[in-house]
Structure 1
Amino acid sequence: MGEQRRGDWMQTATGLAFWPMDPRPSEVKIEDIAHALSNLCRYAGHCREFYSVAQHSVLVSRNVPKEFRLWGLLHDASEAYLVDVPRPVKPFIGGYKEAEESVERAVAEAFGLTWPIPVEVKRVDSAILADEAAQIMASPPRDWCLPEPRLGISIDPWSPQTAKRKFLKAFHDLNLS
């Protein structure tokens, strides 16, 4: 029998075993992250058309200072293993925040990023909500009460295949510069 791990494992897109409740940096693979995030729709699928977490991540990466671009690209990487839970729901799922942080830490270590996620990335992640709300969502029934003004970027949703390709290209470009 193998080493005892916390929780159960899931199979990733590349065929690896990953324990979301006991993540290890050595088990975090960019190909799995890109594949999963490109197939995962933002806003629990309530967009007017498919808009992936991978595309959102690429856009965040493009709008943070250069030194934070890799974190911008990977700020939602935990969702490749835990799914994209809408912000209003997260506080009510017991243990989710701890699982999310555990996977985020494994991602940070796997790609040589400092912990925690920089505030500049979190600010842009919050600001892009205003652009997304205006461009990919139906007219709101009430004010979203967003913490940041719009970035002013244009969002043209990509297919999952395009999102995966652009996510991986952004990753490789950042690692070559």
Structure 2
Amino acid sequence: MVERGDWLQTFTGKQFYLLDPRPEDVCIEDIAHALSLLCRYAGHCTTFYSVAEHSLLVESKMKTDDARMRLGALLHDAAEAYLVDIPRPLKGHIPPYGQIELNVEVAIAEKFDLYWPIKQASIGALDNRILLDERAQIMTPTNHDWNIEGKPLSVKVRGYHPQQAESLFLRRFNELWGALNP
């Protein structure tokens, strides 16, 4: 067996090789569980708000019947289940992280037969606009501009308990996956 480097033990007990990710290492239960426990904005919100709930909101605003595109929206931050959610202002200053994240995204895209890149322009636009809703609902008000173009999408952040966010995420994944694999 070829040595694949250091690995992370996942929720389901699998070994996930962060520097050598492969589709067979990706597990939707691990993704849903980890994202449900991962707080957005490095925890600097007024209430707990998971990446899983954020992902559900992005997917809910997709204006398409294309289940593969919708699944991509749901999984647009799935790499964070293995790599955590590094705040945007820091990501660009860690060049190796970008390549590691890309490799994990490729493994996820291959596992679930997603369009590439996962973060298509339409998903990125929704992701940015939802930031405006999130800022208004779960961030301490300030006079500082976030320099985000567009208008809020009028989504409602619920602040789901992690178990509820995980359950809703898995349910939606299964609906979309079932539509793609009848």
Unaligned runs of 5+ in 2: none
Q: Give the secondary structure class of the aligned counterpart of 2:124.
A: helix
Paired position in structure 1 for 2:47 = 49
Matches within 5 A, 1:5-154: 5=4, 7-64=5-62, 65-67=64-66, 68-117=69-118, 118-154=120-156
For residues 1-36 of structure 1, the C-alpha deviation after alignment (integer angstroms, 9 at most, x for no partner) is x3121x311100000000011100011000000000
Deviation at 1:152, TM superposition (A): 1.2
Q: Give the secondary structure class of the aligned counterpart of 1:18.
A: strand
% same residue: 51
Deviation at 1:149, TM superposition (A): 1.3
For residues 102-149 of structure 1, the C-alpha deviation after alignment (integer angstroms, 9 at most, x for no partner) is 100100000011211221111111110000000111102411111221
Q: State the TM-score, normalized to the length of structure 1.
A: 0.96
How many pairs does the alignment contain?
Answer: 175
Distance 2:20 2:143 in 1: 40
Distance 1:141 1:8 in 2: 43
> Which ranges of 4 or more aligned residues in structure 1 deviate by more than 2 Å?
none
Distance 1:148 1:37 in 2: 26
Distance 1:114 1:130 in 2: 26
CA RMSD across the alignment: 1.0
Q: State the TM-score, normalized to the length of structure 2.
A: 0.93
